[in-house]
A and B are shown apart, each in its own frame.
Chain A
Amino acid sequence: MLLNHTTSKIVERKALTVNPAKTCQPIGAMYAALGIHGCLPHSHGSQGCCSYHRSTLTRHYKEPVMAATSSFTEGACVFGGQSNLLQAITNIFTIYEPDIIAVHSTCLSETIGDDLSQIVGKAASEGQIPEGKHVIQAPTPSYVGSHVTGYANMVEGIVKYFAKKSDELKNQLNILSGWVEPSDMRELKRMLKLMKVKNVLLPDTSDVLDSPMTGKFEMYPKGGTTIPEMVSMGDSLHTIALGEWATEKAAITLDNQCKVKFSMTDLPIGIQATDRFIQAIAKAGSVSVPESINDERGRLVDVITDMHQYLYGKRVALWGDPDQLIPLAEFLVDMDMKPVYIVSGTPGKNFNKRMEEILGESVPEAKYKNGANADMLLMHQWIKENPVDLLIGNTYGKYISRDENIPFVRMGFPIIDRIGHSYFPTLGYMGGLRILEKILSALMDKQDATCPEESFELVM
């Protein structure tokens, strides 16, 4: 299909992104805000942004996604958006009754120079924020970074506003969860429970974007990190921040603001990254690793042992967000696979460094790129030059999968043509098992469908 439009010849592009492997900041801010209990995200800009973000999140989670908009018009662009936001704050508290409004900006409001903190300050001083209610904010200009940056900015905005240091140290850890699925948030909580470590998980979209069917529409479902939890983060023993791109900013802010030290660790995808996560928890929480966790690890390793002959040397192409791609590439290498092509639209200089560490020796032929022009066209062109056995990434890989007849495992954001991502985690050892199962099924389904009759096998 798209085949007609993609050539294998790679021309140096100066000013063009084709089929992006990223999107813009505000949607990340909206997703992060949905992981706070009783919070209504608010988009300060034109209606379209809010509408697109709600549609995209709705398509990915198949859940209602609520957010309000400042409904900018030409007037707002000329005179500034202050009156829109002030009116919006009043309307929202009256009509939708959230506990918290999480305002994020857009490229438009940033460029006309609206100062969110000044406007929110004005709303507070003029008594437009009812007693016990809160308005938090984060700057998310769409022309800087990507959706991951927006997520990071909102999480930072949350801790900046809520986390307070009191005299009383709490025997708990802060876990900054990174941009992962509700299922992953649930899995993080399960692992921490097994390790008997008290914690505050921020944000937490489980029970918000995977809420059960009850026959009722809840504007604010039961999940999400609560206000007392967020406030208490300033008194925690330590912060474990998962994924540098999504959580480092918030971790640094917590440290500066409340003197809670932090450890940066990768998202626990695969064996080694999960090992590091578990170790970090054990150390920060002063606990030992329970046997049940060791058993989970053992089961994952066991399955890889059983199936390693099918994994050996398989060439894989990956795209998505750096925080996912780094541990995923490492996991693939650990399974004797070859992540040969990796793109991420999200900029950040550590990407190349980390990939070099992971792939330099084991997959010297690997090509990876992030930031400008690291898009799905480039990925497709690389594949056309020298094909791969497997694709792993968000929904947009389906064009390449169909054109080139390559098995495809969906992981990342958005996934709008399959289900499962919000219910089955990819984090931790159990998540590793799911990734492995999906990879094997995809490879073996292709083999069954395409191998000659004489090599068709029952036992695999």
Chain B
Amino acid sequence: MERIIKERSTQVHTIGTSAHDLDCEKKSLAGSVSQRACVFCGSRVVLYPIADALHLIHGPIGCAAYTWDIRGALSSGPQLHRLSFSTDLRERDVVFGGEPKLYTALTELIEAYKPKAAFVYSTCIVGVIGDDVEAVCRKVAAEQKIDVLPVMAEGFKGTKKDGYKAACDALSKLVGTDNNFQAPPFSINILGDFNLAGELWMLKEYYEKIGVNIITCLTGDGRIDEIRQAHKASINVVQCSGSMMHLAKEMEEKYDIPFIKVSYFGIEDMADALYEVAGFFKNEEMLQKAKELVSEEIKTLLPALEPFKEKLQGKKAAIYVGGAFKAISLVKALRLIGMKTVMVGSQTGNKDDYNLLQKLCDKETIIVDDSNPNELSEFVKEKGVDLFIGGVKERPIAYKLGIGFCDHNHERKEALAGFEGMLNFANEVYASVTSPVWKFFKR
């Protein structure tokens, strides 16, 4: 690896070759072509799927334009979240303050769209010019008689991860506000699924089949009224732990609701998720149903995976995704279809995640935190990778290097969660890795 930045050497680790622990949760170096985004982005992607809320972005137009319908978080009902609302701050507002504009915009919007609640995102510039967003939200909330929740997400205040926290802070103001609701037995909340490609709907079906009730999902296909009732659940089942752990912990403290961390990617993790929930309720019948469901699904899934596995056996994969927990599932899912992970990394992983990855992956696997295109392409070449799993900015790099690609981020078109998702995943990986297009040039 020739051109790795010296300061970054502690954030790259090859299993079995060096003793040091992987450094992570560091700020990106100035001047790096980082694949990371900002605090605002973190809060926006988490809250965006709440479909009957108003999402108003207080800042210059760009922040709203780039997050307009940013990922395919589907809704089974209202589509208010798919519109882009902005105060579109201009120079005048920056000089004289944007509060009057925010007040007017919020008022006009609430009157026009009658949302169930409103989220107001403050951006970099708002933090600097010192608008009192919280005060404006309080005022409008009192006048309009709806919840207006400030999301303090100034871009520079940290990394995308801090945006997740800002989102959780806003959500926690809603949770627990409907006490009249009586939850049915065996009620859970799903935390950290965003219903990309309709994945939540598949998960719901599994849970319903084993007799588990879902009060709400935070935030896929989300609804304000359901979020208000979330504190009545018996347990929080957290998938994207990077984003929703703050809320899970807070609900544990405040409402005594325990949480478990699960993953829905790959057969093993999907099955474990169902077993763990059944185990939590200590319900034999539920566990039995879960086992039946899993064996039923596997009975059709394993033979269906076989032809893919035959073709993909021994192929090598590189993974670079947002959250490290997802990477862990992906390593296992790839193994199931015969593929070996030779590089794995994330933008926001923590020590625990990376330790788990070290245990899980084979010797010589490169583990990397907060990487950049130079490193990624060097690693890919060095390891002779056949498949890259990543997001929007990694896709064209992988293709230019002449290797297959699978999007495991915003641009996912196929549901990859659950048993069905595993088959979709195998299909997508197969289609990309074995595409005839790769024969037209030398790699």
Q: A18-B83, A144-B90 are in contact. Are A111 and B128 (CB under 8 A)?
A: yes
- Per the bound structure, the CA–CA distance linking A384 and B149 in Å amounts to 32
Q: Does A48 touch B at the CB level, under 8 Å? A: yes
The answer to whether the Cβ of B210 comes within 8 Å of any Cβ in the partner chain is no
Determine if A369 is an interface residue (Cβ-Cβ < 8 Å): no
What's the least CB distance linking A114 to chain B, in Å? 12
Contact status of A89 and B79, CB under 8 A, knowing A76-B156, A217-B397: no
CB contact under 8 A between A22 and B65, given known A47-B36, A64-B400, A74-B156? yes
Contact of A91 (CB < 8 Å), options: B32, B83, B158, B377: B32
Q: Which of A14, A18, A47, A84 contacts B85 (CB 8 A)?
A: A18
- The answer to whether A91 touches B5, judged by C-beta atoms less than 8 angstroms apart, is yes
What are the residues of chain B within 8 A of A358 when measuring CB–CB?
A: none
Give min CB distance, B420 to chain A, whole Å. Answer: 25
Report A322 CB to chain B, min CB distance, Å.
Answer: 16
B residues 324-373 in Cβ contact with A at 8 Å:
373
Q: Is the CB of B128 within 8 A of A143?
A: no
Contact residues in A for B60 (Cβ distance below 8 Å): 24, 107, 142-143
Contact present for A20 and B84 (CB under 8 Å) = yes
**Contacts A71-B34, A216-B400 given: A18-B84 contact, CB under 8 Å?**
yes
CB contacts (< 8 Å) of B41 on chain A: these are: 48, 51-52
The proximity string for A residues 1-44 relative to B, scoring 1 for CB distances below 8 Å and 0 otherwise, is 11011010001011111111011111100000000000010100
Decide if B86 touches A58 in the complex (CB within 8 Å): no
In the complex, which of the residues B62, B88, B157, B160 has the most CB atoms of chain A within 10 Å of its own CB atom?
Answer: B62
Neighbour of B94 across the interface among A106, A111, A377, CB < 8 A: A111
Q: Could you tell me the distance between the alpha carbons of A74 and B154 in the complex, rounded to whole angstroms?
A: 9
Contact check, B29 vs A71: say whether CB atoms are below 8 A apart. yes
Q: B224 interface residue, CB < 8 Å from A? A: no
Q: In the complex, what residues of B have CB within 8 A of residue A62's CB?
A: 395-396
In chain B, residues 59-90, which have Cβ atoms closer than 8 Å to a Cβ of chain A?
59-68, 78-80, 82-90
Contact (Cβ within 8 A) B155 A108? yes
Is residue B105 contacting chain A, with contact meaning CB distance below 8 A?
A: yes
| CB-based nearest B residue for A113 | B128
Chain B: which residue is nearest A41 at the CB level? B33
The contact of A215 among B90, B105, B441, by CB within 8 Å, is: B441
| Distance (whole angstroms) from the CB of A145 to the closest CB of chain B | 9
Query: Within 8 Å CB of A63, what residues of B?
Result: 396, 400
Chain A contacts of B91 at CB under 8 A?
141, 143-144
For the complex, is A70 an interface residue (Cβ under 8 Å from B)?
yes
Cβ B401 vs Cβ A215 within 8 A: yes
Return A407 CB to nearest CB of chain B, in Å.
Answer: 21
Complex CA gap A62/B397 in Å reads 10
**In the complex, which residues of chain B have a beta carbon less than 8 angstroms from the beta carbon of A58?**
392-393, 395-396
B38 interface neighbour in A1, A5, A51, Cβ under 8 Å = A51
> Is there a chain B Cβ closer than 8 Å to A146's Cβ?
yes
A77 contacts chain B at the CB level, 8 A cutoff = yes
Closest Cβ–Cβ distance, residue A225 to chain B (whole Å): 22
Known contacts A87-B30, A142-B61, A143-B93; A73/B442 CB under 8 A: no
Whether a CB of chain A sits under 8 angstroms from the CB of B125 is yes
Contact residues in B for A216 (Cβ distance below 8 Å): 400-401
Nearest residue (CB) in A for B7 is A91
A312: Cβ under 8 A from any B Cβ: no
Shortest beta-carbon distance from A42 to chain B in Å: 8
B250-285 near A? 1/0 per residue, CB < 8 Å: 000000000000000000000000000000000000
Q: Say if the beta carbon of A139 comes within 8 Å of chain B.
A: no
Instruction: Check: A72 CB closer than 8 A to any chain B CB.
Output: yes
Expressed in whole angstroms, the minimum distance between the Cβ of B58 and any Cβ of chain A is: 11
Interface presence of A231 (CB below 8 A): no
Given A24-B65, A77-B128, 13 new contacts (CB under 8 A): A15-B108, A17-B85, A20-B84, A24-B61, A46-B39, A47-B28, A48-B37, A52-B67, A71-B32, A96-B374, A215-B441, A218-B400, A399-B82
State the B residues within 8 Å of A (CB).
3, 5, 27-41, 59-68, 78-80, 82-91, 93-94, 100-102, 104-105, 108-109, 112-113, 124-125, 127-129, 155-160, 373-374, 377, 392-393, 395-397, 399-402, 440-443
Q: List 5 A-B contacts (CB under 8 A).
A: A24-B60, A46-B155, A52-B67, A90-B31, A95-B5
